[in-house]
């Protein structure tokens, strides 16, 4: 089959963000746009030649077309074999597992995660390395540099169409293509990590659960695991069918976007346990009956209860959290005498710590938790962790969390997002706060004394690489914190994130409403950033 060498020109906007390259679908469908980025991956990653590449996506609009294009390009670039999930589907954690278990050289995962889909929505692509995790900054920088100098890309001349809907093996210009079950290997891995027998017993009783797949990729995974292997009632899974536009919603598991689930869990006759995942299956939201578990608390509860889970029989060694995540897990780590690392936002920063065996559990405030079983955050893994814990402790989600607070204190936590504001407005807020960092220590804000304030920079303890400009931190003597950060996953304007936390140990102050408990700090942060005046927004768009 003939190969075309197509002449092209760089697109100036191909710099990957927090997690891959995300743009509007229309941008991605522009001639050469996807091709340029994919060729930049092949050009900057010579290890893919002759090797195996894992390929799949979250099923959003344009997923299948992009897969056909990438297959033709992989064949024209000398890739040895491509393993594709049936239907073009692979959750992000399942792709990570396939890389590691098959010894593949990397993966291309087509997803814009929690961003909306459909023809008017977003599309995305991320490259994971042979270690299984998201490409670190050194790799994304190399891909980006290549995209800015690209002149040609290689693709099979003929518009061959590989059947993605049946399990089979075929060849494309000498390259092997294998269409595999996207779920089986991942489900087997879960079976090794958790006590499925105990969970089956729990679900065989009067325990009821709801899982909201949000019409994204986790539907087939949840059905295989929760229903087929663990015996949950089929109607436990909401919105199980992956749809190109996610049924019109944001596949973002929080109380705003997972409204159906929220109503079920806070309504009459609510189930015992509720959970949701996002577009590509790496996020999780955990709920009990009439009870919401913040992601930061979920991570801390996991750290405190890991010994109940078979996978952690040998202990945790260490844990890590992204900088804006609450310090609830630090408190547990301290009590257990294990290290707790603080990394910048984005899963790629956990990779070295996991590979080096320094940590076995990590998480982010943005509904992401996972362990060393893969190199990605993992939504269904978190759900199974909680189910395993509930099966062992035989207490409600609420009781487990309240007992945790009694023991370790409660880290009141909230994140306020100002979405789609003008770039210059977001920058103005950041600059104003940055300008004040040096003079903040010793000052009093909201009746509390500032201990330190900085622009967070991280030196990776394994390879010494440095990441700067990772968010502005204001830290108080009480341990409270206020963090300002700009999102790196949006596709339109800027999103300003304000993260606020405060530790509370007084027994009579553990059951307050988080927004109320944090009100003085929220107001002080708004003033410090002069947010209403500089952005024209009186209140945030999303509060979690
Ligand atoms: C957000 C979250 C971050 C997460 C990232 C990717 O990034 O804050 O914690 O790792 O999304 O998650 P940002 O830059 O918008 O704050 V996912 O589920 O989109 O792969
Ligand atoms: Co995601």
- Cβ neighbors of 116 (< 8 A, separation 6 or more) are 122, 245, 246, 249, 250, 251
**pLDDT on residue 65:** 96
Query: Is the C-beta atom of 487 inside 6 A of ligand 1?
Result: yes
Residue nearest to atom 19 of ligand 1 (CA): 113
Q: Which atom of ligand 1 is nearest to the CA of 115?
A: 19
Q: Is the CB of 327 under 6 A from ligand 1?
A: no
Cβ count within 10 A of residue 443: 13
Provide the CA 192 distance to its chain's centre, in angstroms. 23
For residue 520, what are its two tokens? 């003085």
For ligand 1, atom 2: residue with the closest CA: 366
Dist CA 211 CA 274 (whole Å) = 6
Tokens representing 486 are 């700009």
Is the Cβ atom of 114 under 6 angstroms away from ligand 1?
yes
* 325 touches ligand 1 (CB under 6 Å): no
CA of 227 to the centre of ligand 1 (A): 29
The DSSP bridge pattern shows strands 448-455 and 472-476 to be antiparallel
| Cβ-based neighbours of 46, under 8 Å, separated by 6 or more | none
Which residue has a Cα nearest atom 17 of ligand 1? 113
Instruction: Please report, in tens digits, the pLDDT of each residue of the chain (544 residues total).
Output: 699 999 999 999 999 988 899 999 999 999 999 999 999 999 999 999 999 999 999 999 999 999 999 999 999 999 999 999 999 999 999 999 999 999 999 999 999 999 999 999 999 999 999 999 999 999 999 999 999 999 999 999 988 899 999 999 999 999 999 999 999 999 999 999 999 999 999 999 999 999 999 999 999 999 999 999 999 999 999 999 999 999 998 999 998 899 999 999 999 999 999 999 999 999 999 999 999 999 999 999 999 999 999 999 999 999 999 999 999 999 999 999 999 999 999 999 999 999 999 999 999 999 999 999 999 999 999 999 999 999 999 999 999 999 999 999 999 999 999 998 999 999 999 999 999 999 999 999 888 999 999 999 999 999 999 999 999 999 999 999 999 999 978 777 899 999 999 998 988 889 899 999 999 999 998 888 989 989 888 889 888 8
Catalytic residue among 44, 91, 111, 113: 113
Q: Whose alpha carbon is nearest atom 8 of ligand 1?
A: 366
Residue with the smallest CA separation from ligand 1 atom 4 is 346
Separation of 19 CA from ligand 1 center, angstroms?
7
Alpha helices in 294-370 (DSSP H): 295-305, 328-336, 351-355
Ligand nearest to C-alpha 115: 1
Short-list 31, 28, 25, CA closest to 9: 31
| Pocket residue to mutate for ligand 1, from 16, 110, 345, most atoms within 8 A of Cβ | 345
Mutate which of 282, 350, 363, 366 for ligand 1? The one with the most ligand atoms within 8 Å of its CB, which is 366
pTM for the complete prediction? 0.94
113 is catalytic: yes
Whether ligand 1 lies within 6 angstroms of the CB of 113 is answered as yes
DSSP line for 21-75: EEEEHHHHTSTTHHHHHHHHHHHH-GGGBTSEEEEEE---TTHHHHHHHHHHHHH
8, 151 Cβ separation under 8 angstroms: yes
- Ligand 1 binding pocket includes 283 (Cβ within 6 Å): yes
Is there a contact between 529 and 498 (Cβ–Cβ < 8 Å)? yes
């Amino acid at each position: 089959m003939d190969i075309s060498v197509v002449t092209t020109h760089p697109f100036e906007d191909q710099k990957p963000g927090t997690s891959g390259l995300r743009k509007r679908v229309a941008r991605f469908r522009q001639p050469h746009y996807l091709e340029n980025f994919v060729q930049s991956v092949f050009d900057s990653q010579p290890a893919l030649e002759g090797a195996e590449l894992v390929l799949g996506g979250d099923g959003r609009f344009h997923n299948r077309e992009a897969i056909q294009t990438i297959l033709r390009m992989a064949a024209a670039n000398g890739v040895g074999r491509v393993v594709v999930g049936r239907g073009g589907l692979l959750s992000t954690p399942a792709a990570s597992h396939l890389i590691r278990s098959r010894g593949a050289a990397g993966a291309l995962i087509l997803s814009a995660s929690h961003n909306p889909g459909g023809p008017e929505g977003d599309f995305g692509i991320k490259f994971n390395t042979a270690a299984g995790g998201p490409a670190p900054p050194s790799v994304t920088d190399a891909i980006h540099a290549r995209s800015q100098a690209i002149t040609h890309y290689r693709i099979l001349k003929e518009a061959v169409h590989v059947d993605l809907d049946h399990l089979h093996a075929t060849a494309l210009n000498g390259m092997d293509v294998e269409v595999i079950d996207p779920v089986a290997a991942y489900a087997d891995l879960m079976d090794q990590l958790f006590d499925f027998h105990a969970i089956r017993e729990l679900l065989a009783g009067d325990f009821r659960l709801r899982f909201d797949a949000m019409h994204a990729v986790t539907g087939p995974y949840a059905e295989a695991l929760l229903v087929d292997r663990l015996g949950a009632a089929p109607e436990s899974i909401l919105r199980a069918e992956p749809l190109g536009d996610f049924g019109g919603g944001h596949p973002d598991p929080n109380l705003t976007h997972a409204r159906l689930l929220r109503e079920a869990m806070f309504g009459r006759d609510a189930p015992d346990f509720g959970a949701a995942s996002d577009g590509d299956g790496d996020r999780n939201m955990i709920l009990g009956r009439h009870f919401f578990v913040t992601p930061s608390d979920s991570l801390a509860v996991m750290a405190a209860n890991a010994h109940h889970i078979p996978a952690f029989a040998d202990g945790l060694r260490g844990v890590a959290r992204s900088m804006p995540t609450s310090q609830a897990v630090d408190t547990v780590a301290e009590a257990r005498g294990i290290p707790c690392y603080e990394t910048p936002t984005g899963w790629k920063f956990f990779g070295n710590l996991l590979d080096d065996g320094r940590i076995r559990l990590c998480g982010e405030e943005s509904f992401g938790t996972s362990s060393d079983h893969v190199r990605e955050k993992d939504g269904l893994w978190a759900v199974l962790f909680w189910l395993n814990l509930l099966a062992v402790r035989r207490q409600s989600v609420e009781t487990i969390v309240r007992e945790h607070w009694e023991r370790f204190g409660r880290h009141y936590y909230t994140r306020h997002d100002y979405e789609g504001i003008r770039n210059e407005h977001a920058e103005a807020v950041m600059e104003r706060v940055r300008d004040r960092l040096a003079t903040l220590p010793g000052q009093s804000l909201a009746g509390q004394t500032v201990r330190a304030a900085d622009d967070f920079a991280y030196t990776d303890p394994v390879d010494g690489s440095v990441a700067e400009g990772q968010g502005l931190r204001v830290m108080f003597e009480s341990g409270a914190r206020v963090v300002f950060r700009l999102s790196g996953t949006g596709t339109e304007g800027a999103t300003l994130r304000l993260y606020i936390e405060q530790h509370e140990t007084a027994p009579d102050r553990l059951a307050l409403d988080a927004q109320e408990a944090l009100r003085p700090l929220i107001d002080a942060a708004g003033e410090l950033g002069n947010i209403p005046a500089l952005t024209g927004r009186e209140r945030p768009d999303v509060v979690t």
